[in-house]
Structure 1
Amino acid sequence: MELRHLRYFVAVAEELHFARAAERLHIAQQPLSFQIKQLEEDLGVMLFRRTTRRVELTDAGHAFLVETYSALAHLRQGMELARRAERGEAGSLVVAYVSIALFNLIPGVVRLFRERFPDVQITLREMCSPELEEHILEKGCDVGLVVQGMHVPEISYETVLSEQAMIAIPIKHPLAGQGPISLDDFASEPFIMYERTQRSLIYSQIIAMCLEAGFSPNIVQEATSEQAVIGLVAAGIGVALVSSCLSELRTHEVIYRPLAGPATLVKYAMAWKQENTSPLVKAFLNVVREVSQHATLDPSL
């Protein structure tokens, strides 16, 4: 049985006339009659009662017509779904992200992507580098939003957002009332850092910033999340270098100040396996680019 057999059967069942059905299908009547006969032989049932004056569906024909309509509808749906998947409008997408992205790009990107592509099932997974890159390589996720710093040859990176690094200090800190502050003003201050083993990339970047400012930070506490870092600053345990996207957290207890001198930027990048040419990945990247245009970008990018 082939798809054309079903199309021929429906035409005859609706017309109840072989000549009109053949005209509708743009084929000769004799081949149509032969194909219907072949279909009946394949099924082992009579689908039509034929006389010299009329054609009628048998009970078996009526039952088969109902299922044929359903099968053809599912087929049309499947064809449309395949076309939409090819255009990046349907399917599933797994997106990994570093936790700090929840404070800048991820909410807006996911909201807009779901509005644009409601038939795409998007799964979000919070990860840290280098685990995130490993999942991309192993196809455990399709695309990731990372803090730029790593470089894996098999992965493509595109910088999409840059944010100024800020110093977060307790609200009663002596420097809380000042404007831009030099990082070396905090050389003797206790520092709160991200947990080294879980957030090694951003940990190393903060250490490098401090060393460039001429000192090694006095780390008194480590924390695994952005909220925990800010909470510890609010408790007066120390100061912390953070991305500007966190500057709305606990503002009644924490003061955020920009750093004096050349702007120090935290850069974010989209990452995906170079060989991944999925239309869904391309569609997601386009949405990220659009959303990132409304954020603060480094003019040099």
Structure 2
Amino acid sequence: MRERAIDLALLHTPPEVNDMFKQEKILTEPVILAMPKERMLLAPGPDDLNGQPWIVDQENRNPPARARLLAACQKGGFRPNICLEVSGPLAALACVEAGLGFIFIQKSLARIVPDNVALVSLPWLPLEITLFAVWRKEETRPLTKRFLATLGLY
């Protein structure tokens, strides 16, 4: 964006606030627990999740997201036993389908979950996915302005 190669970005982790860019939260979505049906927990609490094998996104893909995940788990009263790191939610779902562990996914992915994967909401867990729009403060391109207006940001 600094080099004007792109005009707008949709990010889970926005850049540090600075004089060059504007950013606005455009979506917040709850996170749900996905687990293999053969290891399904009906109403899991923190103690039930301790010791379970966890699949997470590779830390180098988004360190702030990993930090938010671990902080939410700690606040929720458990520590995930990370056994496998993958690249993205679809790879993680495939691992759950294979019975390799538990994951957190955004609720909108529930519609693509395989039949042998169980889902459960954890109202006690303070974790959600947030999406931010980021653009240059002095945006002049008409198409970018129109897109921002569609999002209600311009």
User: TM-score band (shorter)?
Assistant: 0.7 to 0.9
Report 1:214-229 matches (<5 A). 214-229=77-92
Is the counterpart of residue 245 in structure 1 residue 111 in structure 2?
no
Q: Tell me the alpha carbon deviations over residues 16-55 of structure 1, each in whole angstroms, 9 at most, x when there is no partner.
A: xxxxxxxxxxxxxxxxxxxxxxxxxxxxxxxxxxxxxxxx
CA separation in 2, counterparts of 1:262 and 1:197? 24
CA 1:283–1:182: 2 relative to 1, 3 Å: farther
TM-score (norm 1): 0.46
Which of the residues 167, 177, 202 maps onto 2:33?
Answer: 167
Q: Structure 2: any 5+ residue segments left out of the alignment?
A: none
Which of the residues 240, 249, 266 maps onto 2:129?
Answer: 266
CA separation in 2, counterparts of 1:145 and 1:191? 27
Shift of 1:210: 1.1
TM-score (norm 2): 0.86
Is the counterpart of residue 208 in structure 1 residue 71 in structure 2?
yes
State the structure with bigger RCO (CA 8 A, min sep 6), 1 or 2: 2
Query: When you count helix as a share of all residues, which structure comes out higher?
Result: 1
Shift of 1:174: 3.5
Shift of 1:201: 3.1
Letter in 1 for 2:62: R
Shift of 1:158: 0.9
RMSD of the TM alignment (CA)? 2.1
CA separation in 2, counterparts of 1:233 and 1:149? 29
Is the counterpart of residue 143 in structure 1 residue 8 in structure 2?
yes
Identical pairs, percent:
25
Secondary structure (helix, strand or coil) at the match of 1:238 reads: coil
Q: Structure 1: any 5+ residue segments left out of the alignment?
A: 1-135, 291-301
Query: When you count strand as a share of all residues, which structure comes out higher?
Result: 2
CA 1:138–1:206: 2 relative to 1, 3 Å: same
Judge conservation of contact 2:13–2:65 (CA < 8 Å) in 1. Answer: no
Structure 1 ranges of 4+ moved more than 6 A: none
CA 1:242–1:211: 2 relative to 1, 3 Å: same
CA separation in 2, counterparts of 1:262 and 1:286? 34
Q: Tell me the alpha carbon deviations over residues 52-103 of structure 1, each in whole angstroms, 9 at most, x when there is no partner.
A: xxxxxxxxxxxxxxxxxxxxxxxxxxxxxxxxxxxxxxxxxxxxxxxxxxxx
Secondary structure (helix, strand or coil) at the match of 1:276 reads: coil
Judge conservation of contact 2:34–2:120 (CA < 8 Å) in 1. Answer: yes
Aligned length: 152
CA 1:148–1:187: 2 relative to 1, 3 Å: same
Bigger Rg, structure 1 or 2: 1
Secondary structure (helix, strand or coil) at the match of 2:23 reads: strand
Judge conservation of contact 1:199–1:224 (CA < 8 Å) in 2. Answer: no
